[in-house]
Chain A
Amino acid sequence: METINEITDKCSNLAFDLNFRYAKHWKSKNEYRVLVGYLPIYFPREIVHAMNGLAVGIFGAGDRKQIIRGDAYYQSYICHLPRGIIEMGLDGSLNEFDGFVFPATCDCIRNLSGMFKLAGKGNFQRYFDYPQNFNSKVGGIFYRQELDKVMEDIRKINRQHASIEDLNNSIRLFNINRRLIEEIYAIRQEFPWRLSALETYYILRAGMVIPVEEHNEMLEQVLDQLQKERGEPMDNIRVVINGSFCEQPPVGLIKSIEMAGCYIVDDDLLLGSRWTIGDIDDNTDDPLEAMVTAFLNQSTFSSSVYDVGNPKGARLVEQVHRRNADGVIFSAASFCDPALLDRPELQKACDAAGIPHINFQYHENTGQFKVIKEQAGTFSDSIKLWA
């Protein structure tokens, strides 16, 4: 068994290999395998898995790639994420991908789907629309059609059909994946020093670029070792991070928050891996319908889904209480309309519930963390001293 340190080292390399060598190697082993790149926030990877494919999260270049040509495609007032993705598209990093899925996260990602179409990148470039109507006979049918479209795109490439058993099996594997992740979060809620937020981040992000079976094995090993004490408890406050669901912060930022005295006990980094709350029925004659039902009824709260009847503010407050957190750090990418437009209402909800909060903005390639560290440190001190 590998140690947690060995696993996180491996995950850190996998997560930030912007050439996706592991996924490409996986594909090379079988001519019917396909690679489907997808962007944040959420995409139901089960359908790709069931069709002999690997859904690979393309979450930007972070601070790991110098953006040379990507900047020429975007004005200064557009977020950083798509620049890195265009750069990867232009420098050949995405060449072996069969297709790309652009979930309905925001206008930037939507229009990026059109840019990939214009560039003819991959065999398909699919904008994946989430229904904003949650009636199963209306939005449910629409969502199923969206799933069908992606499956048809894959079918055209590898001629594979997903049977009911295939789909149930994929759903089961991703159910396990989410359960294991949730168990890690549950342990971190009690003993956040046993696995740092950064280690957690590496482990989760690696799961976006490798087969779910392998990720599940890794998670089990981590969980097993987390049962024992690891690390030293510190006099830190406990915070929830909100607003980082799309363009990912540089790891230095996550590290800085922790070093400033904040245990990150929950977050929306890599939210897609924990999108569905609870299991999806994996023993059904109609697994796609089960996925539809789960999307309509078991989705977490997110800036990309209309929150009528189930306001995000209340759900954030519930999350803070459930995780026994002391405060919220609103940490959003600059020019991220969904996160930044949500923020005032979320802050209001926190104020009403007496939950302290701070906020700042970042780019995925932000290199200076001193101010953020000081801000987070002051936040931590103020809670420790006066809360």
Chain B
Amino acid sequence: MSNPKEAIKEKSMIIQKDMLAKLFTELSTAKENGKKVVYTFVPGNVTELILSFDMLPVYPEINALQSGMRKKSASYIRDAEKIGFSEDVCTYVKCDIGMMLNGNIGPTGEKMPEPDLLLLSYTGCFTFMKWFENLEKLYPNVPVAMLHTPYQEDGKITEDQITYMVKQMETDVIPKMEMVSGKKYDPERLSKMMVNSAKAEDLLVKVLESAKHVPSPIDAYFAGVYYIGPIFTAFRGTEEAVEYYTELWNEVQERMRLGLGPITPEGELREEKFRLVVEGPPNWTNFREFWKIFYDMGAVIVASSYTKVGGVYDLGFRHDPEHPLESLAKYCMGCYTNLNLPQRVNLLADYVTEYKADGFLINSIKSCNSFSAGQLMIMREIEQRLGVPVGFIESDLVDPRYFSYANIKNRLESYFQMLEQRKIILAQETSEAIA
């Protein structure tokens, strides 16, 4: 097998790489520099609040996906299974537990600091709770704060739910942060950060919505996971994030002006043949191979649900400096996996229409019931409502045993043939109608 080509890097990619490298270095030296560390989760995170106490966030699922991309997850998962974790359960959890069993060496090779606070932002994923119960046992003397995010079961966020979340922050989360950091809660500082959050969120939405342009200047799934990186994790609320998204938006605008397609690791996509909306997280262990299948077929993902797990900003939500805690509450409740199924269907159907997609594809993840349970019904609904061709493939987050390249490629090839055929038929119908 030939070596993959050196990936093209734009300036924004280099900025992001530097940001992440700096963060991991900061984390690896946190203890010697007296920095406190908070373990928390991506969906429904309260990063600004953590940063406002000068603490550093660690996101276990980011470590897991990074381990997956760096081919370390298989052995971590095996180690977790050796101590009793079932083959059936979430591989993010097992990868994370396995990493800790192996000395907690992070994906960059640097040791991750042990947590000073475990902040369970329990949003849209039941497994998060189980994950933290396990972490709590691994770090028995570390205080735990729970932030329970009510589910949008009625398809809306209510005042009662906001009050519940704010009260949890005021009575549990913030006091524990004060205790751990030794600093007083500073609402003004938090508000200032939220100004930056909102700026970055505006820019991210512009970037993601640029995919409405034909041809799309971005891939909103494979490249999208890089675009969401800073804002979904440790950088929301910072100047750095605003700088990153400003640069990214400039690059995307330039690509649109020039009528260019997305940049991929294999090079620029020259001809956009298919536009797709994708539901579900990507596979991380074979990320590049997976992306290449789409590249080879000339397929661009113009919108995806996965890039909304840390906030569906395109629906209008922005962090509000005037009401910081209420705004954090709304943010947590607004994340994609906290939406009920009818909301998800509506959102995805709108994406197919607004982004002029040729088809709708689900990458169903074995590990993630929060996404996967109900996906087949989502698929039927989209097909019935819009009459677009739908496709379904299966893989996993970070367990390479569940990524079958040949199966996925076969299925996708058949799917793209179907899309191709449909395009021909639609073109014929259009020309007949004109004639």
Give the B-binding residues of A (Cβ under 8 A). Answer: 72-75, 77-78, 82, 104-108, 110-115, 117-118, 126-127, 129, 131-133, 135, 137-139, 141-142, 145, 303-304, 306-308, 311-312, 332, 334-338, 340-345, 347-348, 361
Contacts and interface: CB of A to CB of B under 8 A. Distances in A.
A334 to B, nearest CB: 6
B192 interface: no
B289 to A, nearest CB: 22
Given A117-B340, A129-B150, A337 B90 contact: yes
B88 A111 contact: no
Contact of B153 (A73, A129, A132, A334): A129
B381 A118 contact: yes
21 contacts: A73-B376, A75-B364, A104-B151, A108-B369, A113-B153, A115-B377, A129-B150, A129-B151, A132-B146, A135-B172, A138-B171, A141-B164, A306-B146, A311-B137, A337-B89, A337-B130, A341-B127, A342-B130, A348-B84, A348-B137, A361-B88
A141 B158 CA distance: 14
B164 A142 contact: yes
B132 to A, nearest CB: 8
Interface in B130-150: 130-131, 133-134, 136-137, 144, 146, 148, 150
B122 interface: yes
A341 B93 contact: yes
Q: Name which of B93, B126, B137, B164 has the most chain A CB atoms within 10 A of its CB.
A: B126
B167 interface: yes
Contacts of B84: 343-344, 347-348
A133 B172 contact: yes
3 tightest Cβ-Cβ pairs between the two chains A and B: A114-B341, A344-B84, A341-B130
B89 A340 contact: yes
Contacts of B90: 337, 341
Contacts of B374: 73, 111-112, 114-115
B86 A343 contact: yes
A77 B88 contact: yes
A131 B93 CA distance: 23
Contacts of A78: 369, 372-373
A42 B322 CA distance: 40
B376 A75 contact: yes
Contacts of B375: 75
A126 to B, nearest CB: 7
Given A77-B88, A107-B370, A133 B146 contact: yes
A307 B132 CA distance: 10
B160 A145 contact: yes
B85 interface: yes
Contacts of A131: 148, 164
B164 A308 contact: no
B125 to A, nearest CB: 7
B345 interface: yes
Given A106-B126, A126-B153, A343-B85, 16 more contacts: A72-B376, A73-B374, A78-B373, A107-B126, A107-B373, A110-B373, A114-B374, A115-B341, A118-B341, A132-B146, A141-B167, A142-B150, A340-B86, A340-B88, A344-B85, A345-B137
B107 to A, nearest CB: 23
A111 to B, nearest CB: 4
A72 B392 CA distance: 13
Give the interface size class of chain B.
Answer: 35 or more
B126 A335 contact: no
A75 B125 CA distance: 18
Nearest to A132: B148
B48 to A, nearest CB: 21
Nearest to A131: B148
Nearest to A308: B144
B259 interface: no
A105 B127 CA distance: 11
Given A78-B369, A340-B85, A114 B167 contact: no
Contacts of B340: 113-114, 117, 127
A247 to B, nearest CB: 12
B111 interface: no
A283 B157 CA distance: 35
Contacts of A107: 125-127, 369-370, 373
B85 A111 contact: no
A137 B166 CA distance: 12
Interface in B142-180: 144, 146, 148, 150-151, 153, 160, 164, 167-168, 171-172
Contacts of B394: 75
B433 interface: no
B341 A117 contact: yes
A142 B171 CA distance: 15
Contacts of B125: 107
Contact of B345 (A118, A145, A307, A338): A118
A110 B126 contact: yes
A373 to B, nearest CB: 21
A361 B86 contact: yes
Contacts of A343: 84-86
B267 interface: no
Contact of B133 (A145, A340, A345): A345
A127 B153 contact: yes
A126 B340 CA distance: 11
A334 B160 CA distance: 36
Interface string B80-110: 0001111011100100000000000000000
B148 to A, nearest CB: 4
Nearest to A336: B88
B366 interface: yes
B142 to A, nearest CB: 12
Interface string B279-295: 00000000000000000
Q: Name which of B86, B131, B340, B394 has the most chain A CB atoms within 10 A of its CB.
A: B86
A69 B100 CA distance: 42
A345 B89 CA distance: 14
B318 to A, nearest CB: 26
Interface string B55-99: 000000000000000000000000000011110111001000000
Interface in B340-389: 340-342, 344-345, 364, 366, 369-370, 372-377, 381
B129 interface: yes
Contacts of B342: 114, 117-118
